[in-house]
Chains A and B, each alone.
Chain A
């Protein structure tokens, strides 16, 4: 049974009209997510600084909680089915500020290249580029290279998990991964189409990759998950991708990786943006900040 606020959100969020081309579809989705953020979202707090720059050619935005040196860094990846979304969305801006302050960490938001113009593994390559750039320039950037984490939401969580698999084998060393409503099995093996989500998930995946079973497209299908960094997975009860997130946490734990999973009752894919209007979404955002704080600053007492 859906909470009335969630039901209203679903009923009043229009689906993409079929006549739109790709550029039109992206514009529609951007307007829609910005509008929903204005309706339901909570703005982020003030931060010490926000800086736009390029990391070996990849556009990034760096949020700093203070001017201190040697801060931990969280590389954050937006959702949008690999073909839409941007670090410029209002919700991304709010979440990055919130995690910067509550995790007391540098947040690096990545404008990775989108499919279908840039199919798999282009977006993933951009994430790897940023991780390597961050580790290679850590001292100059005021980053503690021993505490670099990666995370994201939905397709962004997929890229985060894949980048972490890559980094395990090729560096740089990562301290943590935070996976929110992650897409981890693109073959559809764990997807529940009865729950609210894209009407045709196979078409979304097909825009990204013609090899959905590749372990870097579907990290849940990777043979070996050992050696990955400590992981926190956040899932939503009514998300068609709920099962794949939880299966990933289970497999990580079996492989000896410290992994926790938290399922939000009543939540749907995307409800985390409703932090002003829906208390569980506010709780979700606080928990994500706390997960970063606990990973980066262990033993510093109960987080804010």
Chain B
């Protein structure tokens, strides 16, 4: 059962921002982004202060993108987390309040955190967002000395569609480099054909899947669109996959952990009990959100710690 306060917050946000008739894609995107920010302001806690927040513009194929870099109050070389926001590949931003809080929290725990403003679909369709995100990781690795980053401890992470992109970047980097140390996949979508969705009482998702295919520009069969369908999952960075109990995408994450493990890639599963898809952001009103965030920090700490001496 989903927490009533969580349901109320979701319903209130929907009411505060009614969908306009005949909205075009850009208007829909702005509405959803504003609605999300409004909700997160009420249900999420802001992040802690960090030493510095700086925006960098980096070159990518056919243009540039922005990367927001959070630096903790510590001197490097430090482990780094490249974080990819969610939003079904066509919504969300790297600087939205929910991402800001999450990036600051992880930064304050001792990581250089990079939030990537990858170009969105449908203007930039598959594999454009994957390429942008890979370019951001490659940039961080190449500039590691100037940025105070330890290139041996770069973690790629993301939520929802960002989790999909993080897993795809890990696959791409296995072929092209740079070396990625670990991957943190939160409520990830890993099979865009919809083949691993579970029924959590919201009915079937056929319309949503069809819309996703049209917007993202892929039927979901390439492995960079659906990492779960990749023929070879060996030799990938160790993974923590965090799934929400009441989320259709839970099946994707569970199957990915099984597939990674079977391929010899170390993978752990965390099941957020009581959680729905977005509730890891609800740190102000929903105690399990804090447990979720603490689990991510615990795992990051364990995979980026140097082996204890002696």
A57 to B270, CA, bound (A): 16
Task: Please report which residues of chain A, range 139-177, place their CB below 8 angstroms from some CB of chain B when the two chains form the complex.
Answer: 140
Q: How many A-B residue pairs have CB under 8 A?
A: 32
Where chain B touches its partner, the secondary structure class is: mixed
Q: Does A116 contact B (CB under 8 A)?
A: yes
Q: Does B125 contact A (CB under 8 A)?
A: no
A119 to B245, CA, bound (A): 12
In the complex the two chains form, is A22's CB within 8 Å of B273's CB?
Answer: yes
- Residue numbers in A under 8 Å from B310 (CB-CB): 140
Q: Does A302 contact B (CB under 8 A)?
A: no
In the complex the two chains form, is B273's CB within 8 Å of A117's CB?
Answer: yes
- Residue numbers in A under 8 Å from B49 (CB-CB): none
In the complex the two chains form, is B273's CB within 8 Å of A119's CB?
Answer: no
Q: Does B235 contact A (CB under 8 A)?
A: no
In the complex the two chains form, is B273's CB within 8 Å of A122's CB?
Answer: no
Where chain A touches its partner, the secondary structure class is: loop
- Residue numbers in A under 8 Å from B245 (CB-CB): 116
- Residue numbers in B under 8 Å from A116 (CB-CB): 245, 271, 273
In the complex the two chains form, is A117's CB within 8 Å of B301's CB?
Answer: no
Q: Does B272 contact A (CB under 8 A)?
A: yes
- Residue numbers in B under 8 Å from A21 (CB-CB): 1, 273-274
- Residue numbers in B under 8 Å from A57 (CB-CB): 298, 301-302, 305
A175 to B289, CA, bound (A): 42
Least distance between B298 CB and chain A CB atoms (Å): 7
Interchain CB contact (< 8 A) of B287 among A23, A56, A118, A122:
A23
A118 to B241, CA, bound (A): 11
In the complex, the chain B residue whose C-beta lies closest to that of A125 is B268
Least distance between B192 CB and chain A CB atoms (Å): 24
In the complex the two chains form, is A22's CB within 8 Å of B274's CB?
Answer: yes
A122 to B291, CA, bound (A): 17
A298 to B245, CA, bound (A): 50
* Cβ proximity bits B266-310 to A, threshold 8 Å, 1 near / 0 not: 001111111000000000000110010001001001100100101
Task: Please report which residues of chain A, range 34-74, place their CB below 8 angstroms from some CB of chain B when the two chains form the complex.
Answer: 56-57
A137 to B304, CA, bound (A): 21
- Residue numbers in A under 8 Å from B287 (CB-CB): 23
A21 to B246, CA, bound (A): 14
A23 to B3, CA, bound (A): 13
In the complex the two chains form, is B271's CB within 8 Å of A117's CB?
Answer: yes
In the complex the two chains form, is B269's CB within 8 Å of A119's CB?
Answer: yes
In the complex, the chain A residue whose C-beta lies closest to that of B242 is A117
In the complex the two chains form, is B295's CB within 8 Å of A117's CB?
Answer: yes
In the complex the two chains form, is A119's CB within 8 Å of B274's CB?
Answer: no
Least distance between B67 CB and chain A CB atoms (Å): 30
A43 to B305, CA, bound (A): 38
Task: Please report which residues of chain B, range 227-279, place their CB below 8 angstroms from some CB of chain A when the two chains form the complex.
Answer: 245, 268-274
Task: Please report which residues of chain A, range 75-128, place their CB below 8 angstroms from some CB of chain B when the two chains form the complex.
Answer: 116-119, 122, 125
In the complex the two chains form, is A122's CB within 8 Å of B269's CB?
Answer: yes
A214 to B295, CA, bound (A): 26
- Residue numbers in A under 8 Å from B305 (CB-CB): 57
Least distance between B6 CB and chain A CB atoms (Å): 12
Least distance between B291 CB and chain A CB atoms (Å): 8
* Cβ proximity bits B166-204 to A, threshold 8 Å, 1 near / 0 not: 000000000000000000000000000000000000000
In the complex, the chain B residue whose C-beta lies closest to that of A140 is B310
A73 to B301, CA, bound (A): 28
In the complex the two chains form, is B268's CB within 8 Å of A122's CB?
Answer: yes
- Residue numbers in B under 8 Å from A119 (CB-CB): 269, 271
- Residue numbers in A under 8 Å from B308 (CB-CB): 56
A119 to B243, CA, bound (A): 12
- Residue numbers in B under 8 Å from A117 (CB-CB): 270-273, 291, 295
- Residue numbers in B under 8 Å from A125 (CB-CB): 268
* Cβ proximity bits B1-16 to A, threshold 8 Å, 1 near / 0 not: 1000000000000000
A125 to B287, CA, bound (A): 26
A117 to B274, CA, bound (A): 10
Beyond the given A117-B291, A118-B269, A118-B270, please list 12 additional residue pairs across the A-B interface where CB-CB is below 8 A.
Answer: A21-B1, A21-B273, A21-B274, A22-B273, A23-B288, A56-B302, A57-B298, A57-B301, A116-B271, A118-B268, A122-B268, A140-B310
9 contacts between A and B (CB under 8 A): A21-B274, A57-B301, A57-B302, A116-B245, A117-B271, A118-B268, A118-B269, A118-B270, A140-B310
